[in-house]
Structure 1
């Protein structure tokens, strides 16, 4: 890959397929509800406050993956 000869270039964050797969996995979690504790197989619990916080954290993780990828590509 371009730039792999540069010191400090972390190619792991520049692999488009890895970035796409990681972001897709995180976004797939958005549609999954929080498990219903104590009742395996039961419908999921959707508390609005908890769900918003959970979704926010997932989106924050996806954003961080993209920021790291862009920072790596910018160095190449």
Structure 2
């Protein structure tokens, strides 16, 4: 019986962490969305595919800068 409690506790912790992760992702999405609007990205006519590619380039730029720091 004790093992079942351990499995349930782990399952509960996984569920809690998944919920926490979703909450953090949502908050980051709102923050980044707000910044994108302030930067004027909502006013340009560009496909999602093109915008995603450009944002990946920006992310790569900052990732390489932080890696070399």
State the TM-score bracket (shorter-chain normalisation).
0.3 to 0.5
Q: Please, what TM-score do these two structures have when normalized by structure 2?
A: 0.43
Q: Tell which has more relative contact order, 1 or 2 (C-alpha 8 A, sep 6+).
A: 1
TM-score, structure 1 as length reference: 0.39
Query: Which entry has the higher C-alpha Rg, 1 or 2?
Result: 2
